[in-house]
Amino acid sequence: DTGVSQDPRHKITKRGQNVTFRCDPISEHNRLYWYRQTLGQGPEFLTYFQNEAQLEKSRLLSDRFSAERPKGSFSTLEIQRTEQGDSAMYLCASSSGLERNEQFFGPGTRLTVL
């Protein structure tokens, strides 16, 4: 049974560059979530997909952020014109809604913006 995977695990970029992260959820999980975790804080919700539809976005998700889940399987999160404040761990989670709504988390992508 393969868990949630994320790629890359680490990303260092210069301010102003664009970055894209990928998340592969557990097979057949129709719900996919993105969270952001900064140092010393709990994860904060960014956005949610049910199948390919993006159903909810947090106010944290500025217009520089865009997420897609084109075929209802993997998802990408793109950050344009990165800022130092974007430095964080970006976590992906998936769920089927059947296991009493348990969300299974990936290992995260740690972004450092120089």
Binding residues for other proteins, rule: CB under 8 A, are 3-4, 31, 33, 35, 40-45, 48, 50, 55-56, 91, 93, 95, 97, 100-108
Compare residues 25 and 43 and give the one whose CB is closer to other proteins: 43
Tokens matching residue 55: 């159903």
Compare residues 43 and 113 and give the one whose CB is closer to other proteins: 43
Cα separation, 77 vs 22, in Å, equals: 7
Q: How far is the CB of 39 from other proteins (least distance, A)?
A: 11
Q: How far is the CB of 32 from other proteins (least distance, A)?
A: 10
Cα separation, 77 vs 65, in Å, equals: 7
Q: How far is the CB of 5 from other proteins (least distance, A)?
A: 10
Residue pointed to by tokens 């804080």: 41
How far is CA 46 from each of CA 1, 70, 75, 82, 98, rounded to the nearest angstrom? 27, 18, 13, 16, 22
